[in-house]
Structure 1
Amino acid sequence: MSSGHKAMTLFVTVLLGLILVILGLCADWPLWAWPTAVALLLVIARGTHRVLTPKREAFPREFGPDPDLQFPEPHRQEQRIAHVALPSSVPDYDFSFSATVRWLVVDATHDAPYINPAGLAVEAVLQRARALTAHQSPNRSAFVQYQLDGVLGTMHPDSSGRVMAMAQDVSLGLPELDRERLVKLSNVRKDEDVWEHERNYERSKRAYLGDDVLKDPGTAVVWWLSRNEQEVEGAVDRIGLLARLSAAANNENVAPVFEHLVSPPVAPYAEANGGRHASTGWQWTPGSDTPASSNGAAPDSSSGSLDSLDSFLAWFGFAPGDPDLVLFAERLTNLARAHDKSNVVDELRRRFGPAQPATVDDEDDAATPTPEEPPTAPAS
C-alpha cells in the first residue's frame, strides 16, 4: 500500500469521527452509544482501506514488458536522382526517369567490407525500373509511371544483400522531340493502313466488275437488271451498250449475236448536209464497211495527220463526247506500240494525253471502265 492510499484512509476516518462526535453531542447520546459509534468508525475505516488499496498484480512489474518502452526508428537515408535515361521497347527512344531513392543498411558481420549504401541503393532501384520500362512502348510514359510507383514502392534488398532500397516521388517522361516523332510515325502508319484498305477495295471492285459483272454480255445484262428490277425495257435498250462494255473489258470484239444491237457508227464532226466531214470530205455510207470520200476512196490512215485520225475515229463511229473514246485511244496506243508505230503513238498521245504506266498488278485492269463512273473524253 502506498503512502497516498494511507493518507486518504486516515483523512476519511478522521472526517467520519468528527461527524459522529458532532452528531453525538447535538443528539445528547447516552453513554453506551459512544462505544458503538467508535466501533462503527473502525469498521468504516477498514472498509475504506480495502477499497483504496489496489489489487495485487499477477506478475510483478519488473518481470513484465514496459509499455512505455519505444523501439528506435531505423535510420533511413535518401538521395534524389533526376533525368536518368531508361530504355523503352523502341530503339533510340529512351524514357527520362527521376525519383527519390531511400535505403536502409542491413546489419552485417564484423568482417564485412565497407560499402557505399547510396550507390548500392540507386543501382538496385534503376535495375528494377529498367526491367519494367524495357518492355513498354515510349508513347505510354504516363501509364508506365504509375506502374513504376507500384514496383518501386516497397523495400527490397539489393543484389549484395547489404541494403534495402525503394523509390518514391517517381517521374517518367519522354523528350518533346521524340514525342513529336512518334506522333508523326503513328499518323503515317494510320495513313498507310487506310491506303492499303482502299487499294484492296479498288482491286476487289475491279475484279468484281471484270471477272464477274462484265464477264460476258449476258452477265452484264443480269447485273444491270438486278439493280433496276422495275426497268425491264431499259435493260433491253442497254443490251448493245453492255455488250460493248463487256467486249472492251475482255479485249474482244462484240459477239456476232449482239452486233445488230450495237448502234451504227455516226461520223463525228459531220455537217448537216449528208454527214460529210467538215475538213476531209470523208462520208459514212450506211451498209458499207469503210468510210468513203466524195470520190469513193478509203481514208489514208498512214499519214498520221489530225484529219486522218478524225476520219479513222469517225469510221468507228466515235463522237467527240463519246465516253469510250479515251478507252479506245488507249487501246490504239498499245496496239501501235506493239507494232512499233511510234508516229501513231505520238499522235495519239498528243491528242488524248500520255497513257499512265501500267503496274504488274493493274496492267490488265487499268483500262476497265465501270458502269458507275464512265471515263470522260477530252475536249476536242
Structure 2
Amino acid sequence: MSSGHKAMTLFVTVILGLIFVILGLSTDWPLWAWPATAALVLVIALVTHRVLTPKREAFPREFGPDPDLQFPEPQRQEQRIAHVALPSSVADYDFSFSATVRWLVLDAADDAPYINPAGLAVEAVLQRARVLTAQQSPNRSALVQHQLDGVLGTMRPDSSGRITAMAQDVSLSLPELDRERLAKLSNVRKDEDVWEHERNYERSKRAYLGDDVLKDTGTAVVWWLSRNDQEVEGAVDRIGLLAQLSAAANNDTVAPVFEHLVSPPATPYAEGDGGPHAPPGRPWAPGPDTSPSSNGAAPESSSGSFDSLDSFLVWFGFAPADPDLDLFAERLIELARAHDKSNVVDELRRRFTPAQPAVDDEEAGDATGAPQEPPPEPEP
C-alpha cells in the first residue's frame, strides 16, 4: 500500500469520526451509542482501505518494459540542388534539373565505413532522375517534371544500403535557346513533310496522266468521255487535240490514222504580205520603205530586221491590233536613241510608220515632229 492510499484512508476516517462526535454531542447520545459509533468508524475505515488499495499485478512492473521510455525520432536532413544538367533522348539537348533532396541514414554495423549522407542522397536522386529523362523528348519538359515528382516522391534506399533518399520541389526546364532551335526544327520537319506529300501527289498525278490517261489516243478519248459522258460530239471534236497531247506525252508523233484530225499550226502572218489579218502599216508585215535613197530601193537588211522585230513582238505578246503597240514602239525608239543606235531608230520608224506620199524634206520634218537640220551652206 502506498503512502497516498494510507493518507486517503486516514483522512476519510478522521472526517467520519468528527462528524459522528458532533452528531452525538448535539443530540445527547446515550453512553452505549459511543462504542457502537467507534466500531462503525473502524469498519468504514477498513472498507475505504480495501477500496483504495489497487489490485496486485500479475507481472511486476519492474520486470516489464518501461511504457514511458520513447525512442528518439529519426532525424531527416535535406539539401537543395539546382541547375543540374540531365540528358534527354536527343543529343546535346539537356534538361536543367533542380530539387530539394531529403535523406535518412540507416543503421549500420559498428565497423561500417564513415559515409557522406548528403553526397549519397544526391547521387541516388540524380541516378533515378537520369533514368527517366534519358528516355524523354526535350520539348516535353513540363510533362517530364510531373513524372519526376512521382518517381522521386518516395524514400528509397541507395545502392550502398546506408541511406534512403527522395526529392521534393522538383523543377525541370529547357534553356530558351534550345527551345527556339527545337521549334525551328519542328517547323522545318512539318514543311518538309507537306512538301514531300505534295511531291508524291504530283508524281502520282504525272504517272496517272502519262502512263494511263495519255498512253495513247484511244485511252485519252475514253478518259475524256468518262469525265464528260453527255458530250459525245465534243469528244469527237477533240480527238485531234487528244491525239496531239498523247503524242507529246510519249515524245512521239501523231499516229497516221489521226493526222487528218490535227489542225495545222497557226502562223501570225504569211511571209511577204503580212497575212490577211495584218492591217497596213502595223506589225507582222514590213511596211513600205519611205526613206529616200539614191536608187529608190529598200536597204538590204530591212526584211531581216522586220522579221526579227516581228518575232520580238510576238514574244512580248502583242497582237496586230493591240492599242498599246504604238506606245511600245515609241518606247523602243527612245531606248534605241538612248543607246545611240541610229540605224535601229530608222528601222523602227520605217516599221511603224504607215505608207505616205512622198513629200519634201521640210514637210516630212514637220509631219514627224523631228527637227530638220538646215541645208549645208555652199562652199565658196
**Secondary structure, aligned partner of 1:222:** helix
Letter aligned with residue 234 of structure 1: G
**Partner Cα separation in structure 2 for residue 243 and residue 54 of structure 1:** 125
Q: What residue number does 2:198 align with?
A: 198
**Partner Cα separation in structure 2 for residue 216 and residue 237 of structure 1:** 17
In the superposition, relative to structure 1, how do residues 309 and 254 fare at CA in structure 2: closer, same or farther (>3 Å)? farther
Deviation at 1:237, TM superposition (A): 2.5
Most deviating of 180-189 and 46-55? 46-55
In the superposition, relative to structure 1, how do residues 138 and 308 fare at CA in structure 2: closer, same or farther (>3 Å)? closer
**Partner Cα separation in structure 2 for residue 217 and residue 40 of structure 1:** 142
Query: Any unmatched runs of 5+ in structure 2?
Result: 25-32, 287-302, 320-380
Is 1:98 the equivalent of 2:95? no
Q: What residue number does 2:85 align with?
A: 85
Deviation at 1:15, TM superposition (A): 9.0
**Partner Cα separation in structure 1 for residue 313 and residue 218 of structure 2:** 33
Deviation at 1:87, TM superposition (A): 1.7
Q: What residue number does 1:173 align with?
A: 173
Letter aligned with residue 187 of structure 1: N
Deviation at 1:67, TM superposition (A): 4.1
**Partner Cα separation in structure 2 for residue 224 and residue 44 of structure 1:** 129
Letter aligned with residue 78 of structure 2: E
**Partner Cα separation in structure 1 for residue 55 and residue 269 of structure 2:** 133
Q: What residue number does 2:125 align with?
A: 125
**Partner Cα separation in structure 2 for residue 164 and residue 68 of structure 1:** 29
Is 1:236 the equivalent of 2:236? yes
Most deviating of 211-220 and 103-112? 103-112
**Partner Cα separation in structure 2 for residue 238 and residue 54 of structure 1:** 125
**Secondary structure, aligned partner of 2:184:** helix
In the superposition, relative to structure 1, how do residues 4 and 233 fare at CA in structure 2: closer, same or farther (>3 Å)? farther
Deviation at 1:92, TM superposition (A): 1.5
Most deviating of 156-165 and 193-202? 156-165
Query: Any unmatched runs of 5+ in structure 1?
Result: 25-32, 282-299, 314-318, 321-380
Q: What residue number does 1:222 align with?
A: 222
Contact kept, 8 Å, 2:105 with 2:163, in 1: the verdict is yes
Letter aligned with residue 181 of structure 2: R
Q: TM-score, normalised by structure 2?
A: 0.60
Deviation at 1:210, TM superposition (A): 0.8
**Partner Cα separation in structure 2 for residue 123 and residue 244 of structure 1:** 78
Contact kept, 8 Å, 2:98 with 2:170, in 1: the verdict is yes
In the superposition, relative to structure 1, how do residues 36 and 112 fare at CA in structure 2: closer, same or farther (>3 Å)? closer
Q: What residue number does 1:255 align with?
A: 255
Q: What residue number does 2:154 align with?
A: 154
Most deviating of 228-237 and 139-148? 228-237
In the superposition, relative to structure 1, how do residues 235 and 106 fare at CA in structure 2: closer, same or farther (>3 Å)? same
Contact kept, 8 Å, 1:84 with 1:97, in 2: the verdict is yes
State the superposition RMSD in angstroms.
Answer: 4.4
Letter aligned with residue 177 of structure 1: L
Q: What residue number does 2:284 align with?
A: 279
**Secondary structure, aligned partner of 1:143:** helix
**Partner Cα separation in structure 2 for residue 71 and residue 8 of structure 1:** 37
Equivalent residue runs for 1:319-338 within 5 Å: none
Equivalent residue runs for 1:327-366 within 5 Å: none
Contact kept, 8 Å, 1:267 with 1:275, in 2: the verdict is no
Q: What residue number does 2:290 align with?
A: none
Q: TM-score, normalised by structure 1?
A: 0.60
- The number of equivalent residue pairs is 295
Deviation at 1:12, TM superposition (A): 8.0
In the superposition, relative to structure 1, how do residues 201 and 20 fare at CA in structure 2: closer, same or farther (>3 Å)? farther
Q: Which string of whole-angstrom CA distances, capped at 9 and with x for unpartnered residues, describes residues 236-290 of structure 1? A: 2222222221111111222222223333444335799745796358xxxxxxxxx
In the superposition, relative to structure 1, how do residues 309 and 259 fare at CA in structure 2: closer, same or farther (>3 Å)? farther
**Secondary structure, aligned partner of 1:85:** strand
**Partner Cα separation in structure 1 for residue 75 and residue 206 of structure 2:** 77
Larger Rg: 2
**Secondary structure, aligned partner of 2:88:** coil
